[in-house]
Amino acid sequence: MGASIQGFRPRRSQTEMAKAIASAIAAQRTLVAEAGTGTGKTYAYLVPALLWGGKVILSTGTKNLQDQLYLRDIPTVRKALNAPVSVALLKGRANYACHFHLERTLQNGRLTSREDVGYLREISRFVKTTSSGDKAELSRVPESAPVWNLVTSTRENCMGAECQYYQDCFVMKARKEAQQADVVVVNHHLFFADVALKDTGVAELLPSANTIIFDEAHQLPETATLFFGETVSTSQVLELCRDVLAEGLAHARDGADWPKLIAPVERAARDLRLAFPQDMVRLAAHQIAPSSTFFPALEKLIDEMQAMGEVLSGQAERAETIEQCRARTVELCEKLSAWDSARGAAQEEGANDRVLWLEAFTHSLQLHRTPLSIAPIFNKQREGSPRAWIFTSATLAVKNDFNHYLSQMGLWDEQAQAWPSPFDYGKQGLLYVPENLPQPNALEYTDAVIDAALPMIEASGGRAFLLCTTIRAVNRAAERLRTEFEKRGLPFPLLVQGESGRTELLDRFRTAGNAVLIGSQSFWEGVDVRGEALSLVIIDKLPFSPPDDPVLAARIDALEKKGLNGFVHHQLPAAIINLKQGAGRLIRDETDRGVLMICDPRLISKPYGRRIWQSLPPFRRTRDAQVARSFFTAPPDGDSPAE
């Protein structure tokens, strides 16, 4: 293998991990495998997966990682092993151009901006030459361009076998290739959307697969919670009203007074949102005051939608699109009614396996039904024919203890093992916790973090990530640093999450070589910047989940009813795993050096702080600002003093 892959060096932990995965595949067992950064876990699971034969489903965290596996890692390993395996890439249907919707959009000419018209022309050309229809291949049209929504299908508006373009359909083609391939690369969203909705082609693959590998497996509890839950929002209702009006006027102008039909539904949806006067509220259903206007408003909305549904039923045969509007009305009504009746049932029984809660945004209201635990649901998915299940990530354990992850996923009696990183963290990195910072809930906390960070940013010559736990902190930090850089004449480019897409920000960060990037959760993981461009990672506070999260509150409550401590058994391990992800951005290979600066004083002052830093890589530690700054000038193997 070494001769075939440039720069490859054998690593003991990688070999051992590959052997453990091979024996789990051979015995059709489950293995939970944590591999420290630099172990080379991708090759450690790819080699046995490609050699052992049979069908493998490989699920990873994001579409970017999917493309990386499919285009780079798998072809490299396949060639090195000379393994005759076929590989397919499968994404959700929103990633594939749809001939039918493209044709309709070209005919309707409903586009408003010149940019969209140009993008549409590009897509039209692309569809004639592409074999996959995957929008990631068309780099000239951004993946987030709104025009994609008009030229891709959804589960609700796909015509299936009735469609005149069925034979050429890119979604069907991708699914067919996936069914015939030995290795299929999917992502977690797709995997769980399928288990919940049966609409992504994974359901047809599962029965024939004898090995399922989840990379970035630490993301599974959150992804599964999202898909096994249900959400319905007032903006879905308003979108439906807009479509009912457009399709009604287009195909059945004489069938109803369409503007008059949708008006009461729109009004009822807005009234439901206005039941909460303030923005950005999260409430569990049991926290809503009985005197609130919310419950009558919800019933009113259901009634008005049912009335609209009856009119649509009478007109449905006049056009396929009106029939689709009718079906959507029924589905939304059912979801709203299910939420309302589940609330009643939960109050009567006093317990439930789902958490009912809502979230109010500026213009919309979302109602959620979220599973209290995904363990029983996921366990049911794993029943059936025996097969190997491999869960791997750099962050699954808390100080070699896997209990938190195993209980979240319902993998209680399964084998779990950790392989350490080959990096020499004692020489390569320093953990610095500044002194004299206020408590993290203090009003001036972000300003104090910036005051402590500035001398470090100067010492490191930029080359820094500032990772914040909230968007508000990102914005405040950006405002402060912009002012300070200008005042002090510091030449560091400042890159801020939200000002450009994540990929573009990272490209600019790598190219600049002395930039400072400020980001929140999406930059804590899956970001790989090797070499000197990143030498300082600053974390503003320990990433505990927000206390107003109704799902977290319900989970803590359930643990405490069992006599467990919600903080120790849930919040703390979850924060540690998250922090390990953020810390993992710093040292990416054997020659990287850098400082991890965690500003939160609780790391030192609280009894649980010790458990946190003992779970991090074994960096040398200091609280002395001078020692931390001098790390950047010390020779790579010279041991600068640390406490």
Q: What is the DSSP string of 211-256?
A: EEEESSGGGHHHHHHHHHSEEEEHHHHHHHHHHHHHHHHHH-TTTS
Q: Are 494 and 545 in contact (CB under 8 A)?
A: no
For 179-235, write each residue's pLDDT tens digit. 999 999 999 988 887 766 665 566 677 778 899 999 999 999 999 998 888 899 999
Name the stretches of the chain with pLDDT < 70.
1-7, 109-112, 195-203, 345-351, 635-643
Rg over alpha carbons for the chain, rounded to the nearest Å, is: 27
Task: Kindly report the CATH class assigned to 228-371.
Answer: mainly alpha
User: Which helix (H) or strand (E) covers residue 465, if one does?
Assistant: strand 464-467
Residue intervals in the chain for CATH 1.10.275: 228-371
Residues with Cβ < 8 Å from 438, sequence gap 6 or more?
444, 445, 448, 601
Per the structure block, which two tokens stand in for 368? Answer: 């959620």
Q: What is the pLDDT of residue 196?
A: 63
Comparing CA positions, the residue from 433, 609, 619 lying closest to residue 538 is 433
Comparing CA positions, the residue from 83, 39, 27, 394 lying closest to residue 215 is 394
Residues with Cβ < 8 Å from 21, sequence gap 6 or more?
31, 33, 44, 45, 48, 49, 390
Question: How would you classify the pairing of strands 415-419 and 56-60?
Answer: unpaired
d(CA 454, CA 337): 54
d(CA 555, CA 450): 34
For 579-631, write each residue's pLDDT tens digit. 988 888 888 888 889 999 999 999 999 999 999 999 999 999 999 999 999 99
Q: Are 120 and 145 in contact (CB under 8 A)?
A: no
Q: Which CATH architecture group holds 425-630?
A: 3-Layer(aba) Sandwich (3.40)
d(CA 496, CA 21): 40
Q: What is the pLDDT of residue 330?
A: 94
Q: What is the pLDDT of residue 18?
A: 95
Q: What is the pLDDT of residue 349?
A: 55
- Total residues found in the chain within this entry: 643
> Around Cβ 377, how many Cβ atoms within 10 Å?
18
Q: What is the pLDDT of residue 1?
A: 57
Per the structure block, which two tokens stand in for 156? Answer: 């609700």
Q: What is the pLDDT of residue 320?
A: 82
Per the structure block, which two tokens stand in for 342? Answer: 């589940």
Question: How would you classify the pairing of strands 30-35 and 56-60?
Answer: unpaired
* H runs (alpha helix) in 274-319: 294-315
Comparing CA positions, the residue from 505, 503, 530 lying closest to residue 518 is 505
For 60-74, write each residue's pLDDT tens digit. 988 888 988 999 999
For residue 85, with 0-12 CB atoms within 10 Å meaning exposed, 13-18 middle and 19 or more buried, which class applies? Answer: middle
> Around Cβ 140, how many Cβ atoms within 10 Å?
10
Residue 567 identity: F
Residue intervals in the chain for CATH 3.40.50.300: 12-93+170-227+374-419, 425-630
Q: What is the pLDDT of residue 238?
A: 92
pTM for the whole structure: 0.86
Instruction: Tell me the CATH number for domain 12-93+170-227+374-419.
Output: 3.40.50.300
> Around Cβ 198, how many Cβ atoms within 10 Å?
12
User: Which helix (H) or strand (E) covers residue 389, if one does?
Assistant: strand 388-393
Comparing CA positions, the residue from 502, 532, 528, 498 lying closest to residue 514 is 532
d(CA 431, CA 622): 6
